[in-house]
Structure formats: C-alpha cells, structure tokens
Structure 1
Amino acid sequence: MQNQKIVITGGPGTGKSSIINYLESQGHFCLHEISRQITLEAQQQGIEQLFLEKPLLFSEKLLEARINQHYEAVQLSKERIFIDRGIPDVVAYMDYFGTSYPEEFIIACKNHTYDKIFLLPPWKEIYTSDNERYESYDQALIIHENLKNSYITYGYKPIEVPKGTIANRSSFIMNSLDG
C-alpha cells in the first residue's frame, strides 16, 4: 500500500506543532519535529545554540534525522502520515542564514519526496519565542518566504492553510486531502 506523506510546514511560531498534536489526538499518525531534540542534545553537551554556532553540523544532523523520518514514513502501513517539517525545510533555513551546503542536501530533497505540502503563514498574534525558538517575528516572515521558495524549487505546490482555530485549520487540511 502506497501511503500519503503529508508535510505541515511554516516559519517558527505558526502553529505547526499544535496542528500535528491535534491531528494525532484525532487518531491520525504523525511524525513530530526533530530539530528541538537536536538542539536539546547539543545544549546537554554545552553548545547553547548549535545552529548558530555550527550551522552546517546542525543541518547535517537535521538532514540525517529527516531522511530517517522519511524512511520511517515509507515503511509504515498507514494511509496517511503527517510530518512536522520536511527535508526541504533544512535547505530553506540554510538559505535563510546564507550558509553554503554540499550537494547531498539538494540530492536528499530530490530523492525523498512528499505527496502534499501544507504551509502555515506567519501569524503575529500567536507568535512567541522560547529557549529553542530564537527568531524574531520579522525573521519568521523571511523564513516563511524561504520555506515557500524551497518547496516550489523542488516541484511542490504548497497549500497555504488559513488562520483560524486549530480545529478549523486541521479541518481545512483534511478537506484538502479528501477533496
């Protein structure tokens, strides 16, 4: 059975994790964001912000983890798998920070594809920063454009999810898939 791999992406503080958690609570299978785990592991090793201090190393770890997530999704016998961020997110953030990266990043984006991309727009009213989210809202706006461009570059047509309650945004996603 070929399953659907559905990415929910967007800049920081757009509600991705809340939607993923909601979809999961409704019985859908979800793979969660992994960058926070990488950040926390680095902090335990004494590196406060690995992405800022060693951006290529952080991105290599993130790329490897996202490729592993993709393999996991392919192996699952679930009709739909929702994924909090995809492989092109790694490239989008590297582009945002002006960090050069090896060809393996581009190859990974081309070789590990998804079926649908849902893009959450910046939303100032719900944006907050925390220990792992250090970007300002203005930076989040630019990151949003980088994410959108990254997915378009790799042949996707991101579907923008309108602002609203978590339930309404989740319903929009489900209706888009069922329609």
Structure 2
Amino acid sequence: MPDKVARMNRFVVISGCSGGGKSTLLDELARRGHATVAEPGRRIVEQELASHGSALPWADADAFARRAIDLALADRAAAEHLPGWVFFDRSAIDAAAALDHLSGGQGRHIDALPRYHDMVFLTPPWPEIYVTDRERRHGFDDAVAEYQRLVLAYPANGYDLSVLDKVAVGDRADFILATLAQSTSTAYRPIEL
C-alpha cells in the first residue's frame, strides 16, 4: 500500500484560471528537471483544428470535455513510470467539472477518477497577462467563471488548494517545490524502481 500512496502523491496538479500562467510555470518546472504533462485541452484543440474536427470548446463543448477527460486519464496512466514529481497542467478533474457544468450535474463523477497529490496549486485570474489566441478563444469572464467552478470542485473532492501569488514564474516554481518538500516527510515516500 505505501507504494500506491507514493505514486499517487507524486502527481501534482497545477490548475486554475485560463491564461493565469500555468503553461509558463510548467515550462519552468521542466527546465528545472521535473517531468511535466501539457494541458489536455490545448492538445485537443490543436488536433481538432489541424484535422478540421468539431470537438472544440466553442463548437461541441460536451465532446471536447469528454475527450479531455479521456486524454487526462491516459496522461496520468502514462506518467506511472516517471520518477519523482510529475506536474500536470490541469487534470481529469478540470474536464469532469466542465462536463458536470455543461450537463447540469449529470457529468462523469469526479470521485470515481484517480487521485492526484492532495495539494492542488491554482493560478488565479490575472487580467494583466490574459490573452486569447488560436486555441484560447474564450474571454476573460469565461475564464474567471471556470476558475470559480474549480475552486469549488477540487475541495469538494478532498483536495487542498494553494492559490499562487501573482509573481514571477521562478518565484512560483520555488514556492511549489518548497511546499512539496515540506510535505515529503509525511505524504511522499520515494518509489523503489
């Protein structure tokens, strides 16, 4: 059982507001030698745009959310072999919360999803750095509404939240790594591979 706990606690989610600096933060953590997993939604949008598909948040949000859940679950399973901390740009919980919102509470049950580390780090709404682009077409108000749903969804499913300060990316990475180092003695045991 301890190995299962150790594996679960290695998977750290960075979630929060769209355009809040998650991808930049994951890039910084990767630069420091940590395993990272890119956001499922962005990858889906890129694939759908390239193939002229319709599983896009602005065309078929339900299909997009279902695909995001499946991709996030595949990402988590594929990360099992990676050593040390693995940082995820969003998780299956984000997509399940979106699907739940779209379906009026009839989405996939979040509590049936595999667990991640108990501490989830959130990037708050940060209008000064928010931009739209080819893959992110929704406005800032929609991003804030999504953030507010996540602030409720994660704790409702047994996760603790740490909202990151609006500071330089290096400072954010330092904070996350220091917070995880503090939890190492009680929540994280290295896996013998």
Could you state the TM-score of these two structures normalised by the residue count of structure 1?
Answer: 0.89
The equivalent of 2:49 in structure 1 is 43
Amino acid of the structure 1 residue aligned with 2:74: N
Distance 1:101 1:66, change over 3 A: farther
CA distance in 2, matches of 1:49, 1:77: 30
Deviation at 1:100, TM superposition (A): 4.5
CA distance in 2, matches of 1:49, 1:11: 21
Deviation at 1:95, TM superposition (A): 4.4
Superposition pairs for residues 51-130 of structure 1, below 5 Å?
51-73=57-79, 75-96=80-101, 98-100=102-104, 105-106=108-109, 109-115=111-117, 116-130=119-133
Report the more deviating stretch, 134-143 or 12-21.
134-143
162, 172, 182: which one aligns with 1:159: 162
Unaligned runs of 5+ in 2: 183-193
The equivalent of 1:142 in structure 2 is 145
The equivalent of 2:28 in structure 1 is 22
CA distance in 2, matches of 1:61, 1:48: 11
Deviation at 1:144, TM superposition (A): 0.9
Report the more deviating stretch, 52-61 or 154-163.
52-61
1:12 aligns with 2:32: no
What secondary structure, in the 3-state scheme, does the structure 2 residue paired with 1:159 have? Answer: strand
1:132 aligns with 2:138: no
Is the CA contact (8 Å cut-off) linking 2:100 and 2:106 kept in structure 1? no
Is the CA contact (8 Å cut-off) linking 2:22 and 2:123 kept in structure 1? yes
CA distance in 1, matches of 2:72, 2:156: 18
Unaligned runs of 5+ in 1: none
Provide the identity percentage. 26
For residues 106-140 of structure 1, give each alpha carbon's deviation from its aligned partner in whole angstroms, at most 9, with x where no partner exists. Answer: 15x43311113101101111111111111211222
Deviation at 1:52, TM superposition (A): 2.4
CA distance in 1, matches of 2:104, 2:93: 14
CA distance in 2, matches of 1:162, 1:178: 18
For residues 33-54 of structure 1, give each alpha carbon's deviation from its aligned partner in whole angstroms, at most 9, with x where no partner exists. Answer: 1212211222223246722222
Is the CA contact (8 Å cut-off) linking 1:33 and 1:84 kept in structure 2? yes
Distance 1:93 1:111, change over 3 A: closer
Count of aligned pairs between the two proteins: 175
What secondary structure, in the 3-state scheme, does the structure 1 residue paired with 2:160 have? Answer: coil
CA distance in 2, matches of 1:62, 1:106: 14
Amino acid of the structure 1 residue aligned with 2:41: S
Amino acid of the structure 2 residue aligned with 1:52: W
